[in-house]
Amino acid sequence: MTDSPADPAPEIGEISVSGWYAHTDKMAKVGFLTIARRLPALVSQAVRLAWAASPRDTAVAITLSLLSGAFTAFGLLATTGVLSALFEAGPTPDRVRAALPGLILVGVAAALRTLTQAGAGWAQSRLEPQVGRIAEERLYGLTSRVGLAAFDDPDFHDALQRARSRGVAVADEVVGTAINTLTAIIGIVAAAGVLGVLHPVLLPLLVLAVLPDAWAAVRSARMRYTTMYALIPARRRKWIIAELLADRDPAAEVRSFTMRGFLMRMYDAVATAEQAVMLGLARRQVLARVVGEALGGIGTAMVYVALGVLLAVGAVPLAVAGTAVLAIRSGQTYLANLMYATNRLYEEGLYFTDFLDFCSEAEGRLPAGRPAKAPESFERITAENVVFTYPGSTAPALQGLTVTIGRGEVIALVGENGSGKTTLAKILSGLYEPDDGRVSWDDTNLADVDPDELRDRIAVIAQDHTRWPLTARYNISMGTDKGEPALVAAAEVAGADQVVAELPHGYSTLLDRRFKDGHELSGGQWQRIAVARGFHRDAPLLICDEPTAALDARAEHALFERIRRHADGRTVLLITHRLASVRYADRIYVLDHGEVVEHGTHDELMALDGLYADLYGLQARAYSA
């Protein structure tokens, strides 16, 4: 794809080719010694995770790998006896018969090695899905338990994205690669042990034969990892552009603003630059492999020359030399496997460490055990001198705020954007914990109560409610089992029964068009479902945060009437910008920059002629204009 003269090349910012290499200094220093030093810790972490997933399969995989190495060594040593018998003087039939017991041992060793390798592979293939499952469960178990404020912390959010994007995905691969690394090490030890038994001089020959391949493997892997690391910004940008081209949410605006050509040019610019880097990587890797194989050929030739000299001077018999060749070949094969496995393990281990570090951080953010039992209800909720600052922010969202809510009251929080209304509501609902101050239900300090137990006593109708890709039933009941009458009653009170009546499968209709037989709702219909969700919880405290944002005037009026009727005997905390809806609240708190600047009834606040009266007058004039 080429740009027309009228279409300048798109700006690709941080993913220009020169920028790709700005972050490679750290990875460029990665060498074999760095990998070797980190290897024991990675293997240990992987084995612990595997053991947690399945002790039996872990033990079987490791034990059979050890036995496979032992049978490899035994088979090589048995080969010496076979070759000795075959190289002896005498008739061929006699030599074959003399070699037969050794041949049987070699065959048995080979068969046992094959069986143990197959068994180890079977145990490893069983381990990987189990490891993947417990890693995912650990990650999502933690993300769903940490305090909500953690998601407002940029550092925590970045750590979570790293853990989710690849960290948890490589957990099973790390375990498999760790076992492959152990297997390769065992194989090399077996080959080296055989050479040491045959003749001490033969052991250095193994090093001479395998070093060039080791160098080439490490260098090639280092090149690849350095390039992949440098390409992260490019691939992130390409992924974002791909989402814009293929995702449902931006599809309408992509077409309305005829963005396709621009986005395709942007995608092509990124993809072309990425392609150039990958082609350069391929060229450099081929060169490294050619050099490594050339040096390996020289090393192998030197090994054969050394063996020839040993044979010529009578230092080793011919049978031992033949076995040595087989052992060296076996060692080379295991070394190639080791180099591949260790480099994979190091690379995956970096992402795996992101996962482990995130889990450790998240566990440190879990709330400590709370001794007090959450009260079933209350006579009064009090927030005293509450202070709260979002992570990474310098200015507090709430500063010394105090409010009182009596049982059965309808309390309204009003104020301009950023005044702290929603933050206060989240603190009162147990989603945030104040940095200072105290929130109490009667004499019970909520800081001493299990947050999940408290949340069972609170229902929230949020403006930014989640549109769950579940059935209408589960979107209202949220997985609770209160029976059909409770479900229908909540839907009727919220007016969601009319929405459900129009669905093709009623409460069993899946509310997501991305799935087969799925159905999509309008914003107002979703709002009624969310309101029914709050009513279905039937809690002593109902918090309504802009519950009518997506409703028209008629539906808004009807909903507030329903909330007033449903609030009979319950306590309602109402947050809204539409001040006409709070006129009949028992008490109104006016917030400004995280502080309560006014409070009272509608009439009292209008008589005060302060911020509330000013905001109310602005809205009234807008409606009467």
Interval 389-430: pLDDT, tens: 988 788 899 998 999 999 988 899 998 888 889 899 889 888
Q: In what order do the strands lie in the sheet with 587-592?
A: 458-461, 541-545, 571-575, 410-414, 587-592, 595-600
Q: Is the C-alpha dihedral spanning 537, 543, 549, 553 positive or negative?
A: positive
User: For residue 21, what pLDDT is reported?
Assistant: 36
CA distance 356 to 45: 9
Which of 227-231, 239-243, 546-550 has the lowest average pLDDT? 546-550
- Average pLDDT over all residues of the chain: 80
User: For residue 382, what pLDDT is reported?
Assistant: 92
Interval 556-592: pLDDT, tens: 667 777 777 766 677 889 888 778 778 888 899 999 9
Kindly state the average pLDDT of the residues 135-150: 88
Contacts 24+ apart (CB under 8 A), 478-487: 478/533, 478/536, 478/537, 480/536, 480/537, 482/536, 482/538, 486/536, 486/538, 487/536
Q: Residue 352 pLDDT > 80, yes or no?
A: yes
* Token duo for residue 94: 């006699």
Interval 102-133: pLDDT, tens: 778 878 888 998 899 899 889 988 988 999 89
CA distance 599 to 579: 14
User: For residue 579, what pLDDT is reported?
Assistant: 81
User: For residue 2, what pLDDT is reported?
Assistant: 42
Residues 60 and 182 in one domain: yes
Kindly state the average pLDDT of the residues 318-338: 78
**Residue 385 Cα distances to 267, 437, 440, 620, angstroms:** 52, 5, 12, 33
Q: Is the C-alpha dihedral spanning 27, 345, 110, 207 positive or negative?
A: positive
User: For residue 96, what pLDDT is reported?
Assistant: 66
Residues 119 and 229 in one domain: yes
**Residue 109 Cα distances to 70, 329, 399, angstroms:** 9, 17, 77
User: For residue 404, what pLDDT is reported?
Assistant: 93
- Whether residue 552 is contained in a domain is answered as no
Domain containing residue 286: CATH number? 1.20.1560.10
- Whether residue 490 is contained in a domain is answered as no
Decide if 553 contacts 523 (C-beta within 8 A).
Answer: no
Kindly state the average pLDDT of the residues 495-499: 89
Decide if 214 contacts 336 (C-beta within 8 A).
Answer: no
Residues 409 and 287 in one domain: no
Kindly state the average pLDDT of the residues 71-85: 74
Residue 22, C-beta contacts closer than 8 angstroms, at least 6 positions apart: none
Kindly state the average pLDDT of the residues 438-458: 87
Residues 109 and 258 in one domain: yes
CA distance 339 to 32: 9
Interval 247-286: pLDDT, tens: 877 888 888 888 888 889 888 888 888 888 888 888 888 8
Kindly state the average pLDDT of the residues 36-57: 84
Last residue of a domain, one of 323, 342, 365: 365
Banded model confidence at residue 555, pLDDT cuts 50, 70, 90: low
Banded model confidence at residue 625, pLDDT cuts 50, 70, 90: low
Last residue of a domain, one of 365, 398, 432: 365
Banded model confidence at residue 15, pLDDT cuts 50, 70, 90: very low
Q: In what order do the strands lie in the sheet with 436-441?
A: 398-406, 380-388, 436-441, 444-445
- Whether residue 157 is contained in a domain is answered as yes
User: For residue 248, what pLDDT is reported?
Assistant: 77
Place of tokens 């979002």: 390
Interval 165-197: pLDDT, tens: 777 888 888 888 888 888 888 888 888 887 777
Interval 520-533: pLDDT, tens: 888 888 888 988 98
User: For residue 32, what pLDDT is reported?
Assistant: 57
Helix-helix angle 523-537:484-494, to 10 degrees: 130
Place of tokens 């892997």: 221
How many domains are there within the chain? 2
Kindly state the average pLDDT of the residues 365-369: 78
Q: Residue 8 pLDDT > 60, yes or no?
A: no
- Whether residue 59 is contained in a domain is answered as yes
CA distance 519 to 503: 8
Residues 240 and 381 in one domain: no
Domain containing residue 428: CATH number? 3.40.50.300
Residues 222 and 288 in one domain: yes
More confident residue, 467 or 93: 467
**Closest C-alpha to 405, from 260, 533, 575:** 575
Domain extent for 446: 374-455+577-625
Banded model confidence at residue 290, pLDDT cuts 50, 70, 90: confident
- Radius of gyration, CA atoms only, the chain: 35
- Whether residue 301 is contained in a domain is answered as yes
Residues 349 and 418 in one domain: no
- Whether residue 385 is contained in a domain is answered as yes
Kindly state the average pLDDT of the residues 191-212: 75
Residues 441 and 356 in one domain: no
* Token duo for residue 618: 């602005």
CA distance 266 to 119: 50
Containing 597, the helix (H) or strand (E) segment is strand 595-600
Q: Residue 4 pLDDT > 50, yes or no?
A: no
Residues 333 and 203 in one domain: yes
User: For residue 374, what pLDDT is reported?
Assistant: 82
Last residue of a domain, one of 365, 389, 407: 365
More confident residue, 323 or 411: 411
- Whether residue 4 is contained in a domain is answered as no
CA distance 599 to 616: 14
Residues 203 and 239 in one domain: yes
- Whether residue 102 is contained in a domain is answered as yes
User: For residue 94, what pLDDT is reported?
Assistant: 66
User: For residue 587, what pLDDT is reported?
Assistant: 92
CA distance 581 to 410: 11
User: For residue 280, what pLDDT is reported?
Assistant: 85
Residues 204 and 323 in one domain: yes
CA distance 491 to 430: 26
Residues 331 and 414 in one domain: no
* Token duo for residue 280: 């350069």
More confident residue, 377 or 38: 377
User: For residue 36, what pLDDT is reported?
Assistant: 66
Q: Residue 30 pLDDT > 60, yes or no?
A: no
